[in-house]
Amino acid sequence: MALTSYEQFKQFIAVGDSFAIVCGGGPSWDNLSAGLALALFLTSQNKKVNIYSEQMAEAPKVLQNFWPSGQSAGTGAEIILDIAATGLASVQYQVVDNKLRIMVAPKSGAISADAVSVKTQNDNFEKIIALGLADFESLARLLKLSAAAWSAKAIFNIDTDPANEAWGAYNVVEPTAISVSQMTAQFLLGFMDNFVTADMASVLAYGVMNASKNITKKNWGRAQELLERLQKKGGRLLLSETVEVASPEAVLNLSGLQLWGRALARLKKINKDVWLTVITRADLKKTQSQLSDVEDFEKHLAGAYFSGRPLILLLENENKFELKIFGDKNVLADKITAGIVEAESLRDVYRKIVEKLSNLE
């Protein structure tokens, strides 16, 4: 009998001592949440794990709290010095002009340049788990590997995007899934339930809650049931480092999440890490949302994404245009203020906002 996709994944991670988990981008942090949960699981199985993502350094503190032991927010390198012939008397270092200078004193003789080598983490793994990466090019860009290097490694490709090219040696692509975090949670709870810790459950719950654009009436019950199962494993429903809710019902409001998903899909990054997005009259009507749902963004969702950086929300309601600013308003240098904006069209006010933000120094 043929193995299911998840049974194949169980076998894939059972064999091998070192893994690279490569996470695609996106403002929901879904892929990185799933990657962190898998990293925590593999680390608990005494396997070596490196995580790669374009957004590692920008990840919210709530996710950084779940880095597995030894994993930093960037890709590291190892500097190797052969001291077999000289011995080692002392080591000092300093940073000058953004350059790390390491001063090594030998016990005897002299250290030659060819005694020094640098080893990056890129080749230091046997297998690759790709999360939310549609094609080979995305993987190669993140790992900075040559075609020969990554083609020699076994790759398991997991995604929800129907445009995924099924490019791995093994592929699990589920367009009907809520998120990659949901797929990962179902795998761990279904095949590795005894090993799921409270930390794994918490980070998976964060990914599921924040992948809001894919939560619909059809799969609403699945999302709520999954979060309840993660809570039973000790998982916390964290919206940010300091905001936790008691139950899925407290955060999962269908119309509000659908509206938030539309706002995320239109995110535009401007100068100085300022983000801009839009909610239209059509959005409010289609999701059967109220203005109170927009207000909930600041209380719950916006803070989870944009703590420390401003998010400008342009809201079209009836014939009025209103600006709402979430996060650190000081970055905007008083060039943009919240409130009603006079303009003839949504396109006109959007263009004016982009022009002002682009001139921020």
DSSP letter at 45?
T
Task: Name beta bridge partners: 105.
Answer: 90
- The per-residue b/e assignment along 310-326, b for 16 or more CB within 10 angstroms, e otherwise, is bbbbbbbeeeebbbbbb
Beta carbons of 258 and 221 less than 8 angstroms apart: no
Fill in the amino acid letter for 176: T
Tens digit of each residue's pLDDT (9 = 90 or more) over 315-339: 887 778 888 887 777 777 677 788 8
Fill in the amino acid letter for 202: S
Dihedral sign, CA of 28, 35, 136, 269? Answer: positive
Phi, psi dihedrals of residue 145, rounded to the nearest 5°: -105, 150
Report percent pLDDT > 70 for the chain.
78
The domain ranges of the chain are: 5-72+122-250, 77-120, 256-358
103 pLDDT band, cuts 50/70/90, is confident
With a cut of 60, say whether residue 120 has pLDDT above it: no
Query: For 45-54, 80-89, 158-167, which range has the lowest pLDDT when averaged over its residues?
Result: 80-89
Query: How far, in Å, are 55, 81, 242, 250 from residue 279 at the CA level?
Result: 25, 56, 27, 23
Q: How many other CB atoms are found less than 10 A from the CB of residue 31?
A: 29
Higher model confidence: residue 88 or residue 24? 24
Tens digit of each residue's pLDDT (9 = 90 or more) over 26-43: 666 899 999 999 999 999
pLDDT reported for residue 148:
65
304 pLDDT band, cuts 50/70/90, is low
> Could you give the residue ranges of the DSSP H alpha helices within the chain?
5-14, 30-44, 61-64, 136-143, 147-151, 180-191, 198-210, 220-232, 248-251, 254-265, 281-286, 291-296, 302-306, 346-358
Beta carbons of 171 and 145 less than 8 angstroms apart: no
Tens digit of each residue's pLDDT (9 = 90 or more) over 226-243: 999 999 999 998 876 766
CA 332 to CA 325: how far, in whole Å? 10
Would 5-72+122-250 and 256-358 be classified into the same CATH topology? no
Spatial CB neighbours of 345, under 8 Å, sequence gap ≥ 6: none
Tens digit of each residue's pLDDT (9 = 90 or more) over 241-250: 766 777 777 6
pLDDT reported for residue 231:
94
CATH of domain 256-358: 3.10.310.30
- The per-residue b/e assignment along 253-278, b for 16 or more CB within 10 angstroms, e otherwise, is bbebbbbbbbbbeeeeebeeebbbbb
Q: Which CATH number fits domain 5-72+122-250: 3.40.50.300, 3.50.50.60, 1.10.1740.10, 3.90.1640.10?
A: 3.90.1640.10
122 pLDDT band, cuts 50/70/90, is low
Query: How far, in Å, are 26, 69, 73, 133, 360 from residue 54 at the CA level?
Result: 10, 20, 10, 12, 25
CA 272 to CA 321: how far, in whole Å? 24
CA 29 to CA 208: how far, in whole Å? 9
Within its chain, how far is the Cα of 108 from the centroid?
49
DSSP letter at 297?
I
Tens digit of each residue's pLDDT (9 = 90 or more) over 81-96: 788 888 888 777 767 6
CA 96 to CA 204: how far, in whole Å? 41
Of 171, 180, 177, 240, nearest to 204 by C-alpha is 180
